[in-house]
Structure 1
């Protein structure tokens, strides 16, 4: 059995999960913030390939693998397949929106970090320049005072 790379417990029908199409690690749906319904939509949609947060955006993925919970009403899926396309599109849109929101939040955080670090470097640079200027000014003043006292 596969172990969840997030919580290290088994991925099975009681604790369903999916495999990252890039790094091949298994992750529980709950650990990946996916509902059972979202897992089912991902499983039923042949053209969807899922990647874990670590791998998102790195390279082109391969095929999705899933372990899903046992459903008591398996016939329901067959009866609802005509509505599945609409549901699938809605779920994919929700997933897309969640991914976009997460990416935006992470990019914003990274940009803020870079800006903060650059501002810190600039501040330190100018602080050092001011210190150098003050030191030079003090040395010049002391030199002028010393020269003024010895010549008088």
Structure 2
């Protein structure tokens, strides 16, 4: 059986071999047996028209017929292309680089579009926030204005109420109320009030006006009498505490339950 010229091991049918084109020596297709690098062996396998010569033949020959017998450049990083091969590593790398560049460019475009969209949305959100901030400030100004107006109105109401109380106090200063006088259409109210004033030892000439007020409860309402002089008013109040006058005293024709007028300042 044939043996490898270099390792002297038996060559079987399963092991691929390489034959020298000059001396027909047979060796295993390995870097150890052929003296070729891995890249050189790959190129030699891929090409049909390349010949291989062993190291002994190369040493005895003054020239080399195949570039495969050149020094081992396995550690150097450069592309090897053999005539007639079905592929070009350099072109393959260029195509791969171009394809990767296209993919990266497309991805960058997608990312740029997404970033631009997000930027536009952020700008829209910022504009909306500015508009809302402006509206909020405007509403705060309106609320402050309304609050000031409300305070002014409350102050004005308090002033009016105070003035009204003062006017009522002034009104009470020259009036007296006479209660217990029946409400009748046939009754001469001013004349009856004059009689009451005279019985209470006050001048009837100080009477300015007489007015029937609405009833606060059931029965006849009180009579409001305006007095000209404060001294007359005080005399009426003082006399009313000591003198009791009934309606029957003023109107003898009155029948039924007696009515007692009561005099008080209002």
Q: Give the greater-gyration-radius structure (CA).
A: 2
TM, length-normalised to structure 1:
0.43
TM-score, normalised on structure 2? Answer: 0.26
Q: Structure with the greater relative contact order (CA < 8 A, sep ≥ 6): 1 or 2? A: 1
